[in-house]
């Protein structure tokens, strides 16, 4: 008998357990990349060290927030930037973001059409909650960064994946996208460069997607959090290509500026036809309800926007070597193939031989248990389009990648 059972009658305890159930909506809020960590913790409890290639956090490896940005944060705190910021963001933050978007992405954004958020993650919640009525749909890439699906379902909306073609460097399949549009579709999500596939979309494909959005009166949601992390081709931002289709951009400081723990990001609206006033007001209402994003961090991000950007080149050249190594090693392993990523820091290899596992999740968990390497199962990024894949980051130094892929290779050869 537990201590609690000693004090409460079993019938009472059963009744209380029945009453204290979470709301059903939380069942819809599942994000694979965080869930697998729980399995890794169990392994770690047994004293074994796990090589974690599951999370897109550069600062867990040999990358750090640039000194001028860290200094700006210390100065902000010392200059009493510790008050509540306006709900939509500090004016100087919004102006700096507008300058950055002009410089980096060649888009003119009115600072009044920018909202500071605590991570793009909060931005996703704002956008989805201001946009969707129950039963309404958002087109998301298949596979996709899973919080877009999780939060859409959480808000009683329906994420509809459109196919991205692995054979064609994971470019979106325009015909499939068109077929998935219904009278309930409200928006089309583009993540470029893409997580989990590492795809970088070509200009022609981007234009076609924007045109389709225009044809069917859809709002374009454009996640550009990896905008400067590209390896070969020049990237084109969605808003810079859109003349008359409204674009809600989501971007932030977690990846390019190497400050994921700061949780700083922004939403902007690029709306030449001026159609989105009410939805923008809806986003502002949600922003006001949560008071504000962190004030000193907003102030420090002004330095990130306006300061030197040469650290980005250093980061990208380091990552390019790790990307090359990752693609080569994965393609050498029998039973696995991997499309070369062109942006971000993820590879999304295909598992052709699950080695007796029934699903990609079981495959990934077996590798974790037997070889202590943590990847994320592909179906966690979309049941259909992520199936029989896994996602790895290529953020760690080559020695760690080498050890991880050696262990993966041993696993594949051992059965
Ligand atoms: C495509 C994409 N959007 C958003 C996020 C989350 O960003 P933030 O740290 O700003 O919440 C990530 C994190 O991995 C991501 O890959």
What range does the domain containing 342 cover?
Answer: 31-63+311-413
Question: Confidence band (pLDDT; 50, 70, 90) for 331?
Answer: very high
Q: How far out from the chain centre does Cα 191 lie?
A: 8
* Residue where one domain finishes, among candidates 276, 306, 336: 306
Confidence check: pLDDT of 23 > 90: no
Same domain, 398 and 288: no
Confidence check: pLDDT of 190 > 70: yes
**Residue written as token pair 């037997």:** 370
Cβ < 6 Å from ligand 1: which residues? Answer: 56, 119-121, 145, 191, 195, 223, 225, 252, 254, 260, 265
pLDDT reported for residue 4: 65
Domain annotation covers residue 22: no
Q: Which tokens is 214 given?
A: 């225009």
Query: Cα(86) to centroid of ligand 1, in Å?
Result: 23
Domain annotation covers residue 38: yes
pLDDT reported for residue 3: 67
* Residue where one domain finishes, among candidates 306, 329, 347: 306
Same domain, 117 and 144: yes
Say if strands 373-374 and 376-377 run parallel, antiparallel, or are unpaired: unpaired
pLDDT reported for residue 300: 98
Same domain, 230 and 242: yes
pLDDT reported for residue 110: 97
The CATH number given to whatever domain includes residue 301 is: 3.40.640.10
pLDDT reported for residue 30: 77
pLDDT reported for residue 25: 86
The region that residue 101 occupies, defined by phi over 0 for left and psi between -120 and 50 for alpha, beta otherwise, is alpha
HSE value, Cβ hemisphere, 13 Å, CA-based, for 282: 13
Query: Cα(90) to centroid of ligand 1, in Å?
Result: 22
Q: What is the pLDDT of residues 141-179, one digit of tens each?
A: 999 999 999 999 999 999 999 999 999 999 999 999 999
Question: Confidence band (pLDDT; 50, 70, 90) for 349?
Answer: very high
Same domain, 368 and 301: no
Same domain, 274 and 160: yes
Query: Cα(145) to centroid of ligand 1, in Å?
Result: 8
Same domain, 261 and 324: no
Q: What is the pLDDT of residues 89-124, one digit of tens each?
A: 999 999 999 999 999 999 999 999 999 999 999 999
Same domain, 188 and 213: yes
Confidence check: pLDDT of 6 > 70: no
* Residue where one domain finishes, among candidates 258, 290, 306: 306
Confidence check: pLDDT of 384 > 70: yes
Minimum-distance ligand 1 atom for the alpha carbon of 122: 11
Q: Which tokens is 67 given?
A: 């000194």
Substitution candidate for ligand 1 out of 59, 97, 121 with most atoms within 8 A of CB: 121
Average pLDDT, the chain: 95
Strands of 158-165's sheet in order across: 114-118, 264-270, 247-252, 219-223, 185-191, 137-142, 158-165, 171-172
Query: Cα(40) to centroid of ligand 1, in Å?
Result: 22
The CATH number given to whatever domain includes residue 403 is: 3.90.1150.10
Query: Cα(103) to centroid of ligand 1, in Å?
Result: 22
pLDDT reported for residue 5: 65
pLDDT reported for residue 22: 86
- CB 378, CB 36: distance < 8 Å: no
State the average pLDDT over residues 275-297. 97
Query: Cα(3) to centroid of ligand 1, in Å?
Result: 43
Same domain, 74 and 55: no
Q: How far out from the chain centre does Cα 175 lie?
A: 25
Same domain, 328 and 396: yes
Domain annotation covers residue 317: yes
pLDDT reported for residue 179: 97
Please tell me the pTM assigned to this model. 0.94
Domain annotation covers residue 5: no
Does 323 or 37 have the greater pLDDT score? 323
Substitution candidate for ligand 1 out of 254, 257, 347 with most atoms within 8 A of CB: 254
Total number of domains in the chain: 2
Same domain, 260 and 317: no
Domain annotation covers residue 9: no
pLDDT reported for residue 308: 97
Percent of the chain predicted with pLDDT > 90 = 89
Query: What values do phi and psi take at 115, rounded to 5?
Result: -125, 130
> How does DSSP assign 360-376, residue by residue?
HHHHHHHHHHHH-EE-E
pLDDT reported for residue 12: 83
Query: Cα(265) to centroid of ligand 1, in Å?
Result: 9
pLDDT reported for residue 286: 97
Please, what's the b/e burial string for 178-200 (b: 16 or more CB within 10 A of its CB; e: otherwise)?
eebbeeebbbbbbbbbbbbbbbb
Minimum-distance ligand 1 atom for the alpha carbon of 252: 10
Substitution candidate for ligand 1 out of 58, 126, 195 with most atoms within 8 A of CB: 195
Query: Cα(135) to centroid of ligand 1, in Å?
Result: 25
Residue nearest to ligand 1 atom 7, measured at CA:
120
Same domain, 53 and 129: no
Domain annotation covers residue 4: no
Question: Confidence band (pLDDT; 50, 70, 90) for 1?
Answer: low
Domain annotation covers residue 21: no
Query: Cα(353) to centroid of ligand 1, in Å?
Result: 30
Q: Which of 231, 209, 208 is nearest to 220 (CA)?
A: 209
Question: Confidence band (pLDDT; 50, 70, 90) for 29?
Answer: confident
**DSSP character at residue 412:** H
Minimum-distance ligand 1 atom for the alpha carbon of 260: 9
Same domain, 295 and 264: yes
Q: What is the pLDDT of residues 205-262, one digit of tens each?
A: 999 999 999 999 999 999 999 999 999 878 899 999 999 999 999 999 999 999 999 9
Domain annotation covers residue 23: no
Query: Cα(240) to centroid of ligand 1, in Å?
Result: 21
Minimum-distance ligand 1 atom for the alpha carbon of 120: 10
Question: Confidence band (pLDDT; 50, 70, 90) for 13?
Answer: confident
Confidence check: pLDDT of 365 > 70: yes
Residue nearest to ligand 1 atom 14, measured at CA:
56
């Amino acid at each position: 008998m537990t201590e609690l059972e000693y004090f409460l009658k079993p019938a009472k305890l059963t009744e209380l357990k029945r009453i204290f159930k979470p709301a059903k909506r939380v069942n819809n809020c599942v994000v694979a990349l965080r869930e697998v960590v729980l399995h890794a913790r169990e392994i770690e409890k047994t004293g074994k060290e796990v090589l974690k290639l599951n999370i897109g956090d550069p600062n867990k490896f040999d990358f750090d927030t640039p000194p001028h940005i860290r200094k700006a944060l210390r100065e902000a705190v010392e200059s009493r930037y510790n008050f509540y910021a306006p709900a939509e963001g500090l004016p100087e933050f919004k102006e700096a973001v507008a300058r950055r978007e002009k410089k980096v992405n060649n888009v003119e954004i009115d600072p009044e059409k920018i909202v500071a958020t605590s991570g793009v993650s909060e931005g996703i919640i704002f956008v989805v909650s201001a946009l969707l009525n129950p039963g309404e749909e958002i087109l998301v890439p298949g596979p996709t960064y899973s919080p877009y699906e999780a939060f859409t379902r959480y808000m009683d909306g329906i994420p509809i994946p459109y196919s991205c073609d692995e054979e064609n460097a994971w470019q979106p399949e325009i015909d499939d996208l068109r077929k998935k549009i219904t009278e309930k579709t409200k928006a089309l999500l583009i993540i470029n460069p893409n997580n989990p596939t590492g795809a970088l979309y070509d200009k022609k494909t981007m234009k076609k997607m924007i045109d389709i959005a225009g044809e069917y009166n859809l709002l374009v949601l454009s996640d550009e959090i990896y905008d400067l992390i590209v390896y070969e081709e020049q990237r084109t931002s969605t808003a810079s290509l859109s003349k008359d289709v409204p674009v809600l951009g989501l971007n932030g400081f977690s990846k390019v500026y190497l400050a994921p723990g700061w949780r700083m990001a922004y939403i902007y609206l690029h709306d030449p036809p001026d159609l989105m006033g009410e939805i923008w007001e809806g986003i502002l209402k949600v922003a006001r309800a949560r008071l504000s994003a962190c004030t000193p961090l907003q102030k420090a991000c002004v330095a990130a926007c306006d300061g030197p950007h040469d650290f980005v080149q250093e980061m990208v050249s380091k990552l390019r070597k790790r990307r090359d190594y990752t693609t080569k090693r994965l393609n050498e392993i029998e039973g696995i193939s991997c499309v070369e990523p062109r942006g971000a820091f993820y590879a999304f290899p295909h598992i052709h031989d699950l080695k007796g596992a029934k699903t990609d999740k079981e495959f990934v968990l077996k590798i974790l248990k037997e070889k202590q390497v943590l990847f994320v199962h592909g179906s966690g990024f979309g049941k259909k389009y992520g199936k029989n894949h896994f996602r790895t980051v290529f953020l760690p130094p080559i020695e760690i990648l080498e050890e991880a892929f050696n262990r993966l290779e041993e696993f594949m050869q051992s059965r």
